[in-house]
């Protein structure tokens, strides 16, 4: 845009009208005269523009069966984002080339600064493109692509809460190596500086397919949901108040405040899946005991030992049943506190003793975003009590096709309950979940 000082190219360094040359047309010197920086930068800009034209929309480059496709909302968001980035960068390159050809740049240094900034923006565009390319390329894998579309349906279902308190963004899932899941939340900044139009959820390939993948996936969905409802912020205020008023337990409340984001996401998983969330979590955090008991002040995750205890506390509060005490006893046998020093054991015993009060505070939390309803009431826990899940699973045994018509998270909750009750073998679980994921993918593709 033009300013009082001259012409600016995008966000790059300024270029100015050269005195006495407003109407002079730039005539490049003969081939090989590279001491003319304008000829050099024009050619470099043309090369950059040529490479930019090779960046194709995913709609033209990603082969996949229809059932494996991402949702139309996600497609539109990604296409719009990358299209806008492409057009903005194209215009900036063309403006720089025009300024160079007309000789209106102030100096070689300024021109090079503008070109260098544009080149950085091209790399940011490619970084943003690669984020989605990694996700979409898996959609062309046999079976895996369709399963991922089914997991998209599960993620979307887990983000639907009672009261429609926020507009859920599109979600897409993909698999990656490694132990943990992760999310790049919607409406966060991408490398290009633009807002991410979709939530991108990474889940570990080694958990595909078991009910444990739902535990990890819905935990990541919980990060998006908690952010959309501003729960971390409102709960931090409440926990800081407890820190001030409960002096004997001040250090414990500070620990829980530090971990609140991860705790909320674990609650989101438990509230949707019941005991399947906790057994899935145990699978994730089954690591050598040194890591299970490590207290790290820089880690937003609770140590695995107390993290499982938190999941158990939420589960017992929402889904009363003797199974929670049985699972807690099993966890204590797998990782007894006798493995650690007396000082650290005392800290864990104090954290565990505070769990009933802490879990009540979280479940009964009120905030403006929740429209004055308790936090626990936004979740479908009343319809997912263990007794109902057991009855549903028995009815599906006689008529498996009925399972496909239920909400995805409810199906995973019932399968997780059956696994916990030892009514379902891992082999049969894998077979069932593979079929329902395909059925949800097909239903999304034709709806």
β-strand pairing of 6-8 with 14-15? antiparallel
Would you place residue 423 in the very low, low, confident or very high pLDDT band (cuts 50, 70, 90)?
very high
Would you place residue 360 in the very low, low, confident or very high pLDDT band (cuts 50, 70, 90)?
very high
pLDDT score recorded for residue 233: 96
pLDDT score recorded for residue 33: 47
Would you place residue 412 in the very low, low, confident or very high pLDDT band (cuts 50, 70, 90)?
very high
Lowest mean pLDDT among 42-46, 157-161, 338-342, 376-380: 42-46
Question: Residue 409's closest CA among 444, 378, 387, 383?
Answer: 383
CA dihedral angle for residue 259, residue 263, residue 265, residue 268, rounded to 10 degrees: -160
Q: Which residues of 362-381 are buried (b: 16+ CB within 10 A; e: fewer)?
A: bbebebeebeeeebbebbbb
Environment class of 260 (CB within 10 Å of its CB; exposed 0-12, middle 13-18, buried 19+) = buried
pLDDT tens column, 335-358: 999 999 999 999 999 999 999 999
Q: Quick one: what percent of the chain has pLDDT higher than 90? A: 54
pLDDT tens column, 263-272: 999 999 999 9
CA distances from 300 to 277, 314, 368, 409 (A): 20, 19, 25, 26
pTM recorded for the entire structure: 0.82
Tell whether the model's pLDDT for residue 66 goes beyond 80: no
pLDDT score recorded for residue 7: 35
The mean pLDDT of the chain is 86
Q: How far apart are CA 273 and CA 270, in angstroms?
A: 5
Tell whether the model's pLDDT for residue 23 goes beyond 80: no
Would you place residue 241 in the very low, low, confident or very high pLDDT band (cuts 50, 70, 90)?
very high
**Average pLDDT score over residue span 166-189:** 88
Lowest mean pLDDT among 4-8, 105-109, 251-255, 292-296: 4-8
Domain boundaries, the chain: 2-140, 144-383
Helix pair 231-245, 355-363: axis angle to 10 deg: 140
Q: How far apart are CA 15 and CA 107, in angstroms?
A: 8
Q: Which residue has the higher pLDDT, 275 or 5?
A: 275
pLDDT score recorded for residue 53: 83
Q: How far apart are CA 105 and CA 95, in angstroms?
A: 11
Tell whether the model's pLDDT for residue 31 goes beyond 70: no
**Average pLDDT score over residue span 380-400:** 93
**Average pLDDT score over residue span 127-134:** 79
- The SS3 assignment for 89 reads helix
CA atoms within 13 A on the CB side of 194: 21
pLDDT score recorded for residue 36: 81
């Amino acid at each position: 845009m033009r300013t009082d000082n001259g012409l600016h190219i995008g966000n790059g360094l300024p270029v100015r009208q050269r005195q006495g040359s407003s109407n002079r047309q730039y005539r490049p010197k003969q081939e090989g005269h590279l001491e003319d920086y304008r000829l050099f930068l024009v050619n470099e800009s043309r090369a950059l523009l040529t490479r930019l034209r090779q960046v194709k929309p995913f709609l033209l480059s990603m082969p996949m069966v229809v059932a494996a496709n991402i949702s139309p909302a996600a497609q539109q968001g990604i296409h719009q984002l990358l299209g806008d980035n492409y057009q903005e960068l194209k215009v900036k390159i063309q403006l720089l080339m025009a300024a160079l050809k007309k000789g209106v740049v102030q100096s070689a240094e300024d021109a090079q600064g503008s070109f260098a900034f544009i080149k950085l923006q091209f790399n940011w565009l490619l970084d943003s493109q690669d984020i989605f390319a990694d996700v979409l390329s898996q959609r062309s894998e046999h079976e895996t692509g369709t399963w991922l579309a089914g997991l998209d349906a599960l993620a979307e279902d887990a983000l639907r809460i009672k009261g429609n308190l926020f507009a859920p963004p599109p979600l897409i899932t993909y698999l990656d190596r490694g132990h943990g899941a992760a999310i790049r939340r919607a409406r966060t900044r991408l490398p290009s500086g633009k807002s991410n139009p979709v939530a991108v959820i990474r889940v570990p390939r080694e958990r595909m397919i078991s009910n444990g993948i739902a535990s990890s996936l819905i935990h990541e969905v919980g990060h998006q949901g908690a952010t959309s409802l501003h729960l971390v912020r409102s709960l931090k205020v409440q926990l800081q108040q407890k820190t001030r008023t409960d002096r004997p337990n001040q250090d414990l409340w500070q620990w829980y405040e530090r971990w609140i984001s991860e705790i909320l996401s674990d609650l989101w998983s438990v509230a949707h899946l019941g005991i399947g969330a906790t057994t899935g979590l145990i699978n994730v955090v089954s690591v050598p005991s040194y890591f299970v008991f490590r207290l790290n002040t820089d880690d937003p995750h609770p140590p695995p030992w107390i993290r499982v205890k938190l999941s158990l506390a939420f589960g017992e509060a929402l889904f009363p049943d003797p199974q929670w005490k049985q699972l807690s006893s099993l966890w204590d046998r797998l990782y007894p506190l006798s493995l650690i020093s007396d000082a650290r054991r005392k800290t864990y015993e104090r954290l565990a003793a505070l769990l009933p009060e802490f879990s009540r505070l979280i479940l009964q939390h009120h905030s403006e975003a929740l429209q004055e309803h308790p936090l626990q009431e936004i979740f479908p826990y009343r319809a997912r009590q263990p007794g109902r899940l057991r009855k549903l699973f028995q009815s599906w045994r006689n008529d498996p096709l009925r399972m496909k018509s239920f909400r995805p998270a409810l199906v995973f909750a019932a399968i997780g309950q059956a696994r916990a009750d030892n009514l379902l073998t891992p082999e049969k679980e894998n077979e069932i979940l593979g079929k329902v994921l395909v059925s949800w993918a097909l239903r999304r593709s034709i709806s």
